[in-house]
């Protein structure tokens, strides 16, 4: 039986010494059966020869480029793309990081994306006819899948080719792919120290700390959140040079070894989103070299590069004494600050707080702001005042940020107009927030 070799994909891999290259061949006999693709090392001289290989068993051959077929429900695919999409590089220096990796993995489809700082992987249920992997532009496939009807989606993944074919219901499309081999490797962290975190407690701590991290990277350690364990206590701290937030979580079980690492604040923001409403536990594991951390949920995991460096010793920045302490209802305080912020917008964001004694233990907090050519504003709130009357000016954003994550009552402690203002939720000992004031002419 005559067999005609058909050169189908010719990704050349030059070996160093021989100048040989391998060619993927599909051998297609006339009867519609064919050999599986395989690679052969040929010398250049034989590159275009027609090769006859007798005695090889034939098997049914899929149409060109349809090597792998994976079927996945549109809802699952869309959800998975949404999860990993957060890790896709926005300004990709390495073009493939704008892509999402699709890879069969033990009867499921794994989706992964990375911007080299963090990577997110998630697994969705799928019917896998054959193993394979590819990468496609995240934005393209995300937008596309979002519009498909809620029906099974077939992915035809070529193992070397440049096109992925996707069909769903009566819609068919092809997308340019990049080779999965070129996708940055996502580290598997299975060793090292681990702790188990309660999702709700984790989310709450992240919410109360993460915003205080620096957004500019002039001091890289400040763009992260420090995590430090002491027995069963996990302390999370972030500071941007002007404010400091510290939250404690009690762990169900102390880790075998104490952990002290700096996790990028961005990783925590994304983690908070991944945890969202779920109540499942999150396993956090730091690799032995202390360069990476993995947060694992049931079907999703995130790996982040740890920030190297020394986090400032912040304990000395939290004053243990005060001359003035005011206990204030957060709702009222927040409302007056929001109003003052409108006026502060045009005046360097300065909000002035003045604490004056009233009758008995009650006192009055005056919240004011003024803007040169706009106008001024003053609001008053009753407070419980201990200690001396005082005044202090804060940046309106810092004040709004801290009030935004608090409820009930807050205690504001201070020693002077140019020293730290300390915010503590009343009745809770697991959180403290320190804000440096603004130096203003009173």
Sheet strands side by side (includes 38-42): 3-9, 21-29, 38-42
Segment contacting another protein by CB under 8 A, of 31-39, 203-211, 334-342, 369-377: 369-377
Quick one: 136 or 438, whose CB is closer to another protein? 438
Positions in 339-358 near another protein (CB under 8 A)? 346-350
Quick one: 407 or 418, whose CB is closer to another protein? 418
Using CB under 8 A, which of 147, 187, 362, 418 touches another protein?
418
Q: For the CB of residue 79, give the shortest distance to another protein in the complex, in Å.
A: 36
Using CB under 8 A, which of 166, 244, 328, 411 touches another protein?
244
Does residue number 125 form part of the binding site for another protein (CB under 8 A)? no
Does residue number 91 form part of the binding site for another protein (CB under 8 A)? no
Q: For the CB of residue 371, give the shortest distance to another protein in the complex, in Å.
A: 7
* Helix extents (H) in 298-390: 330-344
Distances (CA, A) of 294 to 99, 162, 254, 287: 21, 32, 18, 8
Closest CA to 13 of 179, 215, 156, 128: 179
Does residue number 321 form part of the binding site for another protein (CB under 8 A)? no
Does residue number 198 form part of the binding site for another protein (CB under 8 A)? no
Segment contacting another protein by CB under 8 A, of 2-10, 178-186, 241-249, 303-311: 241-249
Quick one: 168 or 351, whose CB is closer to another protein? 351
Q: Give dist(CA 412, CA 355) in Å, integer.
A: 10
Using CB under 8 A, which of 93, 316, 320, 429 touches another protein?
316
Using CB under 8 A, which of 102, 238, 406, 434 touches another protein?
434
Does residue number 225 form part of the binding site for another protein (CB under 8 A)? no
- Is residue 328 within 8 Å of residue 409, measured between CB atoms? yes
Does residue number 395 form part of the binding site for another protein (CB under 8 A)? yes
Count of other CB atoms within 10 angstroms of residue 394: 26
SS3 of residue 330 by DSSP = helix
Using CB under 8 A, which of 61, 239, 262, 410 touches another protein?
239
Does residue number 241 form part of the binding site for another protein (CB under 8 A)? yes
The string of DSSP codes covering 248-310 is EEE-SS--SS--EEEEEHHHHHHHHHHHTT----EEEEE-TTSSEEEEE-SSEEEEEEPPPS-
List beta partners, residue 375: 371
Q: Give dist(CA 144, CA 104) in Å, integer.
A: 20
Q: Give dist(CA 121, CA 83) in Å, integer.
A: 8
Using CB under 8 A, which of 42, 317, 329, 339 touches another protein?
317
Quick one: 59 or 218, whose CB is closer to another protein? 218
Count of other CB atoms within 10 angstroms of residue 46: 13
Does residue number 370 form part of the binding site for another protein (CB under 8 A)? yes
Distances (CA, A) of 219 to 107, 216, 420: 45, 8, 21
Q: Which residues bind another protein (CB under 8 A)?
A: 216, 239, 241-244, 312, 314, 316-317, 346-350, 370-372, 393, 395, 418, 420, 434, 436-441
């Amino acid at each position: 039986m005559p067999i005609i070799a058909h050169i189908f994909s010719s990704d050349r891999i030059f070996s160093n010494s021989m100048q040989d290259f391998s060619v993927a061949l599909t051998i297609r006999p006339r009867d519609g059966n064919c050999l599986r693709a395989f690679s052969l090392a040929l010398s250049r001289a034989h590159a275009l020869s027609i090769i006859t290989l007798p005695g090889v068993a034939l098997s049914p051959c899929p149409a060109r480029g349809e090597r792998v077929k994976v079927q996945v429900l549109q809802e699952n695919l869309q959800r998975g793309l949404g999860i990993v999409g957060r890790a896709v590089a926005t300004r990709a220096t390495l073009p493939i990081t704008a892509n999402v990796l699709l890879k069969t993995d033990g009867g499921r489809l794994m989706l992964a994306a990375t911007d080299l700082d963090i990577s997110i992987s998630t697994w969705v249920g799928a019917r896998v006819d054959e193993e394979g992997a590819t990468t496609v532009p995240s934005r393209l496939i995300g937008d596309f899948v979002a519009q498909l009807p809620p029906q099974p989606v077939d992915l035809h993944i070529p193992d070397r080719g440049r096109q992925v074919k996707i069909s769903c219901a009566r819609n068919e499309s092809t997308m340019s792919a990049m080779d999965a081999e070129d996708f940055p490797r996502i580290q598997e962290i299975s060793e090292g120290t681990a702790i188990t975190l309660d999702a709700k407690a984790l989310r709450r701590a992240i919410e109360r700390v993460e915003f205080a991290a620096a957004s500019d990277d002039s001091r890289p350690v400040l763009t992260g959140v420090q995590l430090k364990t002491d027995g069963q206590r996990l302390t999370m701290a972030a500071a941007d040079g002007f404010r400091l937030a510290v939250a404690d979580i009690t762990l169900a079980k102390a880790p075998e070894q104490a952990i002290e690492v700096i996790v990028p604040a961005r990783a925590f923001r994304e983690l908070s989103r991944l945890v969202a409403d779920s109540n499942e536990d999150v396993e956090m594991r730091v690799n032995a070299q202390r360069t990476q951390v993995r947060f694992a949920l049931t079907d999703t995991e995130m790996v982040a590069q740890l920030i190297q460096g020394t986090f400032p010793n912040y304990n000395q920045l939290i004053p243990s004494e005060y001359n003035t302490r005011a206990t204030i209802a957060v709702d009222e305080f927040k409302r007056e600050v929001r109003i003052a912020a409108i006026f502060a917008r045009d005046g360097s964001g300065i909000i002035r707080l003045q604490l004056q004694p009233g009758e008995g233990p009650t006192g009055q907090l005056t919240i004011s702001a003024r803007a040169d050519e706009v106008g001024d504003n003053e609001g008053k709130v009753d407070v419980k005042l201990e200690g001396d009357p005082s005044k202090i000016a804060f940046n309106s954003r810092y004040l709004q940020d801290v009030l935004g994550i608090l409820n009930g009552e807050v205690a504001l402690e201070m020693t002077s107009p140019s020293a730290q203002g300390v915010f503590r939720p009343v009745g809770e000992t697991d959180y403290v927030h320190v804000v440096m004031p603004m130096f203003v002419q009173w």
